[in-house]
Structure 1
Amino acid sequence: MVNGYSLDPHPRANFAKEQFAVVRIPRVKRERVPAASVEIVEDFETAVAQANPENKFYPAKVVGPARSSEGTMLYYLIDIYNYEA
């Protein structure tokens, strides 16, 4: 559930799930990002290892993908991890 909305159309459906990722975002204060800006990775350590904050790539936990009302595939940001490289 993100911001009070369930992304799964049915309780037994397994479409949108929480995953670790590296996301490219222009600013950290965002709620959702286009799927093209998200690279799903195996675990938190991989996300941190592949992150590059100087170039706007951040380790994150995301849920998705989900289709927006405009038809775009999006991931919702659950958490963006701040760390010292």
Structure 2
Amino acid sequence: MPTIQQIIQSNKIESIYALVYTPNRQRSRHRFPENCVFKMDGEQEAKTAANPNKNLYPALICGPSKSSEGYMLYYLIEWLD
């Protein structure tokens, strides 16, 4: 299984600004299924649309990448706030 760094460096993977739904950001595994990721046009849009009360946090992510179970996953590069 490739490491997150190998996935990020892959030419097939793009970096994306997004809102990420996660109930507990501090304990996050730093990978998210595609149904928890809402793509945004840019960093400012992601920051503006963030809503911590609804567990939506702005992030720079990369992906998607197919997991061994067949799920499409996105990987956290950094939280934006």
Give TM-score scaled by structure 1 length. Answer: 0.80
Please tell me the root mean square deviation across aligned C-alpha atoms, in Å.
1.9
The answer for the alignment partner of 2:5 in structure 1 is 4
Partner-residue secondary structure (3-state), 1:39: strand
Percent of pairs with identical residues: 33
1: CA distance, partners of 2:5 / 2:47:
28
Offset at residue 60 of structure 1 (A): 0.2
The structure with the largest alpha-carbon Rg is 1
- Count residues in correspondence: 77
The answer for the alignment partner of 2:78 in structure 1 is 79
Partner-residue secondary structure (3-state), 2:5: coil
Deviates more, 1:47-56 or 1:23-32: 23-32
| Unaligned segments of structure 2, at least 5 residues | none
Give TM-score scaled by structure 2 length. Answer: 0.83
